[in-house]
Amino acid sequence: MKTFSIITEADARLLDRGSTVTLSVGGHITPLALDTLRERRVTVLSPVPSVDLAQLAPAMPVRRVALGGDHTSLALKAHLLTHLRQQGLAVTDIGTHGTEAVDYPDIAAQVARLVLRHEADAGIVIDGAGIGSAMAANKLDGIRAACCLTPTLARYAREHNGANVMTLGSTLVTAEEAVDLVRIFLGTPTTETRYLRRLQKLHALEDSQ
């Protein structure tokens, strides 16, 4: 089976219809080649790069938390900040601290970067619904952000999906509910090999564009 580091349209047109080829780790397919490969029904196999599975699991135990939220989050963020510090956790509050409107992607990115730089073991981002912040944080390679609005989602986000950032909707959960969600999220490890293997495949997708 032929292996390519890059597949151009010219390469794709030379491949037999219905054949199978392999793309090397970090390899690339040009946009025009993608169309030609589909038309010729060529299958391209992309190997999963070797990664230490244990390194993909979110940090445990969580001792440092990056916390941020937009202008809708002030009351809930303040409540969580107090709670987390009472639990003995080191919390970096990146804002916002006032009622002037801010854009959730900016806050989510700041929290995510602290997690990526290992300056925080986990991140929490709050906006009105929690959805936009999850989308924004997930744009950064290495971040797995999940919107957690129920205890089951908070547990599954960590146990099954290895989330290292959780997002909350200030209009959808009460302060008491948020405390419970944060407790579950931060206290649940990712340990099972089958879940870690799936995280490896998620990691591989970051380099597959």
The 8-class DSSP code of residue 18 comes to T
Q: Cα separation of 92 and 173, whole Å?
A: 22
Q: Cα separation of 112 and 115, whole Å?
A: 5
111 sits in which H/E element: helix 104-116
160 in catalytic set: yes
Asked whether 119 and 66 are in contact (CB, 8 A), the reply is: yes
Q: Cα separation of 61 and 167, whole Å?
A: 19
* Tokens representing residue 37 in the block: 């490969």
Asked whether 155 and 184 are in contact (CB, 8 A), the reply is: yes
User: Taking the CA atoms of the chain, what radius of gyration do you get in angstroms?
Assistant: 21
Catalytic residue among 28, 97, 160, 203: 160
Q: Cα separation of 64 and 84, whole Å?
A: 10
Q: Which residues are catalytic?
A: 160
